[in-house]
Structure 1
Amino acid sequence: MSFTLNPYFIFDGNSREAIHFYEKVLGGQVMGIMTFGEMPADPNQPLPEEMKDRVMHAHLKVGATDLMFSDTYPGMPHQQGDWIQIAIHPTEEAEAREIFAALEDGGEVVMPLTKMDWSPCYGIVKDKFGVTFQVNVAAEQPQS
């Protein structure tokens, strides 16, 4: 198996503040911040106005470690400090499906594995111990 793991922090509308706090405190470098409003519009699921400025995904590099961040949807249950997930990045879809199925056994699928704009295979699963994992296969990078 070949994959990487990283912490994924979930905040309730204050991801941007946390990112810049950790950037300063840990001497990190912000690699990117994308808001929900920057995602392609889906007419079947219109985005509420209050979601547009929330962070959909952010990446902070601290030394050799990748920290990822996101905000919840407004009104979604959230206990400050308790929403840290582990992101797993397998290189192959078959490996992602195998890991996801193993974590799902006795656990709960939060979001089934599916194709997303940034990944051919992405899903979220909570294992039988209550730990939430995001499984994400990176999209193929175009050859230059």
Structure 2
Amino acid sequence: MSIRLNPYLNFDGTTKEAVYFYEKALGGQVIGIMTFRDVPEDPNHPLPDEMKDRVMHAHLKVGNDDLMFSDTFPGMPHQPGDTVQIAIHPADESRAKEIFAALEDGGQVVMPLQKTDWSPLYGIVKDKFGVTFQVNVAAEQAQ
């Protein structure tokens, strides 16, 4: 059974700047940057104009490791101590559900496990210690 972990950093509208800063500072390589504008819009939940150019997801490869990033929504509370999350990539959906349930015990679900455009199963949970985890099954790993 395999599992990978990586830091996921959140910023208040400065993600692009941060990604390129860390790329230079750490000798990394930007794998991709996706803005909220790049994702198909849900007509039931229109995206505010000020959100469209914010980063939904960015990926920086540093050696064999990954750093991932995104911007918060405008007006969303942004505490500097809350800027790092841990992204967990279990090999299959059943393991993702087990991990999510264990982290949820005494914690708070931020986003329930669900199918997304990039994953068959993705969710966000803050554990009882205040640490936020993103649980993500890669599409090619789903079983």
TM-score w.r.t. length of structure 1: 0.95
Residue 119 of structure 1: aligned partner:
119
Residue 108 of structure 1: aligned partner:
108
Determine which structure has the larger helix proportion and give its number: 2
- Residue 80 of structure 1 and its aligned partner are, at CA, apart by 2.7
Aligned pairs (5 A) from 1:38-117: 38-117=38-117
Percent identity (aligned)? 77
Structure 1: gaps (5+ residues): none
- Whole-angstrom CA distance in 1 between matches of 2:42 and 2:137: 22
- Whole-angstrom CA distance in 1 between matches of 2:4 and 2:53: 29
- Whole-angstrom CA distance in 1 between matches of 2:23 and 2:41: 30
TM-score w.r.t. length of structure 2: 0.96
AA in 1 matched with 2:48: P
Q: How many residue pairs are counted as aligned between the two chains?
A: 141
- Whole-angstrom CA distance in 1 between matches of 2:16 and 2:123: 24
- Whole-angstrom CA distance in 2 between matches of 1:42 and 1:82: 28
- Residue 41 of structure 1 and its aligned partner are, at CA, apart by 1.1
The runs of at least 4 aligned residues of structure 1 exceeding 6 Å deviation read: none
